[in-house]
Amino acid sequence: MDGLDIPLNHILFISSLLFAIGMLGLMIRRNIIFILMSLEVMLNSAALAFVAAGAHWGQPDGQVVFMLILTVAAAEVAVGLGLVLQVQKRFKTLDMDHANRMQG
């Protein structure tokens, strides 16, 4: 553990960078597959921050939450891919801007 002493700030920087990339992807991509992937990136960036913080404070909580996020991500992918199939079936496209039935 001694040799690899990366400062917390660096990891948090990477994490927020990942988060921003994910968020940007979410905002600009229209394809639902890419949206899901961007979401995955954002979740993982959060998970990274948790693990890093947990390591920094020497607490197990960070890793516990990481486990939780893994589960959530898995569940999310399951639901998300189901939705992808449905969207493909209904709209014959994966472009999310076409699925705008909720327009007020």
Partner 1 sequence: MSKIIWLIPLMPFVGSITLMLFGKNLRRSHIGYLGVSSVGISALLTALLAIEFMQNQEVLETLVWTWMQVGSFAPGISFYFDGLTLVMMSVITGVGFLIHLFSTEFMEEDPSYARYFAYLNMFVASMLILVMADNLLLLYLGWEGVGVCSYLLVGFWYQHSANGHAARKAFIVTRIGDTAMALGLLLLFSHLGTLDIQVLMGKASQVWEVGENIPLIACLLLVCGAVGKSAQLPLHTWLPDAMAGPTPVSALIHAATMVTAGVYLIARTHGLFLLAPDAMIVVAIIGVVTSLMAAFTALMQTDIKRILAYSTISQIGYMFLALGVGAWSAGIFHLMTHAFFKALLFLGSGAIIHCLHHEHNIFKMGGLRTRMPVTFWSFMIGSAALAALPMTSGFFSKDQILLQAYQLPDLGPGLWMAGLLGALLTAIYSFRLVFVVFFGEANTEPDKDTEWRMAIPLSILCFLALVGGYFTIPVVDVFPVTGGSHPAHWVEYVSISVPIVGLVIAYFVFLNRRINIETLTTSSFGRGLGNLWLSGWGIDWLYDRLFVRPYYRLANLLKSEPVDVIYNAIVELNQLLNLWLSKSQTGRLRWYLVSMVAGLIILISLASNLGPGVLQW
Q: Which residues in this chain contact partner 1 in the complex, by CB under 8 A?
A: 23, 26-28, 30, 35, 96-97, 99-104
Nearest residue (CB) to partner 1, 6 versus 83: 83
Report, in Å, the least distance between residue 83 CB and partner 1.
11
Pick between residue 13 and residue 70 the one whose CB is nearest to partner 1: 13
């920094």: which residue's tokens?
56
58: left (phi over 0), alpha (psi -120 to 50) or beta: left
Bridge partners, 31 (sequence order): 95
Minimum CB–partner distance for residue 21 and partner 1 (Å): 14
Nearby residues of 79 by Cβ (< 8 Å), 6 or more positions away: none
